[in-house]
Structure 1
Amino acid sequence: MAEDFRGLLKEIMRNEQTGERWFDDLDIGGVFYLSIQASTLHDSTPAALLDDVKAYEAFQVVLQTKPGVSICGKKGAWTHLAACDWLPLFVEDSPLLREAAHVPASVVQRIYEDVLACASAHPEVISKKRDSGVKLL
């Protein structure tokens, strides 16, 4: 089991007056960004600004492929996650991004572990152009 995802969350912005807080995205193996959020502005349970991240029952989660990552076809990043039982929780916002609301903490942990395993097992989804230093726009 990978470490508890809540220990990886680094707060980058907080506004006590509005109850807004943002955690930095987790960079998973150069393949995915995993955004895990909880505050009054997010689809978390509770929808409140809590100091103890472990007090949240559920989080808003966004999973996005990084630029230069193959997303289509047999070797696409999303294809490798297709068998995950949590993927139907996500709504496709674009070909690169999926979003889920009120995801229980135990499921967020599984998402983190599965995405980490996928990125480790399938480095081929990263574009060779990206690896060679060519900047993709």
Structure 2
Amino acid sequence: MAEDFRTLLKDDMRNDETGERWFQDIEISEVFFFSVQASALHASTPEALLDDVMGYEAFQVTVQSKHGVFAHGRRGAWQHLEDKSWWPLFEADSPIIYMAENVPTATVQQIYEDLLACVDQHPEMITKKCQRLQAC
């Protein structure tokens, strides 16, 4: 089992007056940005600004493929994830961004672990140009 994703969440911005907080994205190799959010302005449970992230029962989650990653087709990132039980929770925001609301903590952990496994099992998702430059 991978590290608990909640231990990786670091505040990027916080406003106690409005109850807003943004956590930094978690980068997964050269393939994904994994965004997990919870605050008064996010679809989380509770929809509140908690000091202890362990107090959330559900999170707003966004998965984005990085520049230079095949998003579709035989080598596409999304095709490697579409068979996961959690995939129907997500809606496309764009061809490279998928978002889900009120995702239970255990499911967010599974998503995180599946993204890590996907990167390990499918290095072909990254274009050769991106691999050469390592700037994607």
Query: Which interval holds the TM-score relative to the shorter structure?
Result: over 0.9
Q: Deviations over 1:51-94 (max 9, x none)?
A: 01000000000001000000111111111111101000000111
Q: 1:135 to 1:108 in 2, by over 3 A?
A: closer
Give, in whole Å, the separation in 2 of the partners of 1:5 and 1:17: 26
The answer for unaligned runs of 5 or more in structure 1 is none
User: Match for residue 115 of structure 2?
Assistant: 115
Report the aligned-residue RMSD: 1.2
2:70 pairs with 1:70: yes
Give, in whole Å, the separation in 2 of the partners of 1:83 and 1:69: 19
- TM-score, length basis structure 2: 0.96
User: Match for residue 41 of structure 1?
Assistant: 41
Q: Percent identity?
A: 57
Deviation at 1:134?
A: 8.2
The answer for unaligned runs of 5 or more in structure 2 is none
Give the aligned residue type for 2:60: Q
Partner SS for 1:84: coil
Does structure 2 conserve the Cα–Cα contact (< 8 Å) formed by 1:29 and 1:120?
no
The count of residues paired between Structure 1 and Structure 2 equals: 136
- TM-score, length basis structure 1: 0.96
* Runs of 4+ with deviation above 6 angstroms: none
